[in-house]
């Protein structure tokens, strides 16, 4: 059983140590720390307040002329997510 639980996107409760942990996500640091560009992009997209940084990161990927297979995967995934969201409406 976990001794921590997520209260919201920036707080965690550690029951075992009887503490509340607050953290702040810096999207710029994430883009420097994670090696996998696809995972980094989708990590940013899933976070509240990081959409703009995700788009900047995507622009950097496109402008740096990354592997066409990676770009194809990214845009196919966007298309898949968009279609699924349209179906749920």
Q: What is the pLDDT of residues 17-54, one digit of tens each?
A: 888 877 777 778 888 888 888 988 988 888 878 889 99
pLDDT, average across residues 63-80:
88
Mean residue pLDDT of the chain comes to 81
Residue with tokens 């090696």: 35
pLDDT of residue 76: 92
pLDDT of residue 10: 67
pTM for this one? 0.64
Q: Is the pLDDT of residue 9 over 60?
A: no
């Amino acid at each position: 059983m976990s001794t921590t639980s997520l209260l919201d996107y920036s707080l965690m409760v550690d029951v075992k140590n009887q503490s509340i942990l607050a953290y702040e996500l810096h999207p710029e640091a994430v883009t420097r720390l994670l090696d996998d560009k696809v995972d980094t992009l989708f990590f940013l997209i899933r976070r509240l307040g990081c959409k703009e940084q995700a788009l900047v990161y995507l622009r950097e990927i496109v402008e740096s002329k990354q592997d066409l297979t990676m770009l194809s995967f990214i845009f196919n995934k966007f298309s898949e997510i968009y279609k699924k969201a349209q179906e749920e409406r």
